[in-house]
Every structure is written in C-alpha cells, then in structure tokens.
Structure 1
Amino acid sequence: MRNIHYRKVSILFALLLGMITNVYATSSITVTDGYIKASIPGTDITAAYMTINNTSDEAITLQKVSSTISDRIEIHEHSMADGMMRMREVGEITIKANSKVVLQPSGLHLMIFSLKQPMKEKSVIPLTLKFSNKTNIKIQLPVRKYK
C-alpha cells in the first residue's frame, strides 16, 4: 500500500515539474505597455507599440506577428539618415538575455497593413507574437487615439 502511494506522489511530482518547466519557458518573455494606434480615417494602415522583456539567460528573436485584423504585419524601424527620417522593414528583433526592447514611435514598431476594419479607439485587438524559441504569445492590445 505504501509503495502505491509513493508511486502516485512520484507521478504527480513529475507531472507538476513538467508543467512548471513549460510555464517557465513561456514566462521568460513578457509584453507590457502595448497598444495599437487608431487608424486615420481613409487609410488602411496603422502601427503597434510595446515593450518586450526577456528574463531568460539566452537571447530570443521576435520573428513574426500575426492577427485576425490583417494578413500583413511587419517589423519596422525608423532611423535618421542624412538628415531624413526613414522607415525600413527589419524582419525580426533580437532581445538579448535579461534585457528588453521597446517598440515605440520613431523607433522599432509593428506596421499593420491592409486592415480588415478601421482601428477604433477603445477596441481591443488580438496579436500573436512568434519567437525563435518556439514560444507563441497571444496578447490583447487596446487601440488608442492617433496623435
């Protein structure tokens, strides 16, 4: 009887350890301060901003972003060159170990093209962030007024 109890406890411990390991893998990446700009009337593009935190001991890379609001979301960066502000697609963003990357106006950001509907203030929009370590994070971003 005691042997059966020990086996049950061992199996339960192994299952819990597996769950904790899985949670740890996804909790090493957090997203804070995220929002999407309300779209300007007559346009079908907008941008999204956020802070991505990596608390793991290894660098990770944001490789792709998807959503139901658009089939085309790209990672872009504004930069100053020859006195002119330029925007270019960067493809992916690496977040160093125990570091963060801020996506913000006039810097790194997500460009959302061919919106399926206008982005209206106070809406909440789902995005899925796909990382190099096979982690997918589903987030909900509020839409804020375009300034």
Structure 2
Amino acid sequence: MLNKKIFILSLLSLNLSATEMEINNAYIKQTPPNSKNTAIFLTLTNKSEKEIALIDAKSDLSEKIELHTHIHKDKKMSMIQIPKITISPNSTTELKPGSFHIMLFDLKNPVNAETKANLTLYFDNNTSLKIEQIPSKKL
C-alpha cells in the first residue's frame, strides 16, 4: 500500500510541475511540394519562480528535430542549432520566424493546409508537455 501512495504522490508532483509551463499559439509552417524541412512556432510561458529550459522535442511529422535560433554574422542571418531555449521565471518566450524555433528535418509528408501535428516538449525540470492537433499556417 505504501508503494501505491508514493506512486500516486509522484504522479501528482509531475502534474503540478507540468503546469508551470503554458504553451500557446502553436503552428507548423506549411511547405512547398517536395520540401523536406519545416518549423514549429509557439509561445512558452513560464509561470514558476525558477528558470526552465526547453531541451528537446518530438513530433509525429519527423524523426529528426532540433532547437534552433537565428544569428546575425557578417551582415547575414544564419540559422544555428542550440542546446536549449531558456524561459526566465514568470515570463514568456516566443518561438517565431527569424528567432527561436523548433526545426523538423526529413518530413514524412509535406505540410499543407490539412496537416495537423502532435508535439511533445521536454524541459530541464524533468517534465514534458504534449500538444495535439497543431494546425499549419502558410507563411
């Protein structure tokens, strides 16, 4: 009986931790025919008193996913992979074109107006959040 109580308490702790992060305005960039890459954009709100970082993501659209940002170097904008996206306490970080984003490589299918995706986000506080039926947008 004690093990069952510990397990239930652990589940409750995970649920409480997961609510520290709120996800809004998620969408996938539609792709032209034969394109193998796209990006997911969204807004992350950290409602806790401590810094939380997005460290990984998984999607049903692609096996290979990376966290990216853009940098300006030598009067050019370049996209680079980054190990994490940090969200400060009680603040919001927007993943948007030309900034932080979730990059999907080797898409299983083109992303069109009918495409809906599922996405799981993994954070450095050992929590994860699943977002289902993310719509696509033409940019």
- The question of a shared fold, defined as TM-score above 0.5 by the shorter chain, is answered with yes
Percent identity at matched positions? 33
Deviation at 1:101, TM superposition (A): 1.0
Select 1:29's aligned residue among 21, 31, 46: 21
Aligned Cα root-mean-square deviation (Å): 1.9
Larger radius of gyration: 1
Select 1:54's aligned residue among 46, 49, 72: 46
Select 2:67's aligned residue among 36, 61, 75: 75
Task: Kindly indicate whether the alpha-carbon contact (under 8 Å) linking 2:28 and 2:136 is maintained by their aligned counterparts in 1.
Answer: yes
Q: Which runs of 5 or more structure 2 residues have no equivalent in the other structure? A: none
Q: Which moved more, 1:78-87 or 1:56-65?
A: 78-87
Deviation at 1:124, TM superposition (A): 1.4
Select 1:143's aligned residue among 113, 136, 139: 136
Deviation at 1:22, TM superposition (A): 4.3
Give TM-score, length-normalised by structure 2.
0.87
Q: 1:22 to 1:130 in 2, by over 3 A?
A: closer
Question: Which of structure 1's runs of 4+ aligned residues deviate more than 6 A?
Answer: none
Give the structure with the larger helix fraction.
1
- Give yes or no for the alignment of 1:109 onto 2:95: no
Task: Kindly indicate whether the alpha-carbon contact (under 8 Å) linking 2:14 and 2:127 is maintained by their aligned counterparts in 1.
Answer: no
Alignment size in residue pairs: 132
Q: Which runs of 5 or more structure 1 residues have no equivalent in the other structure? A: 1-13
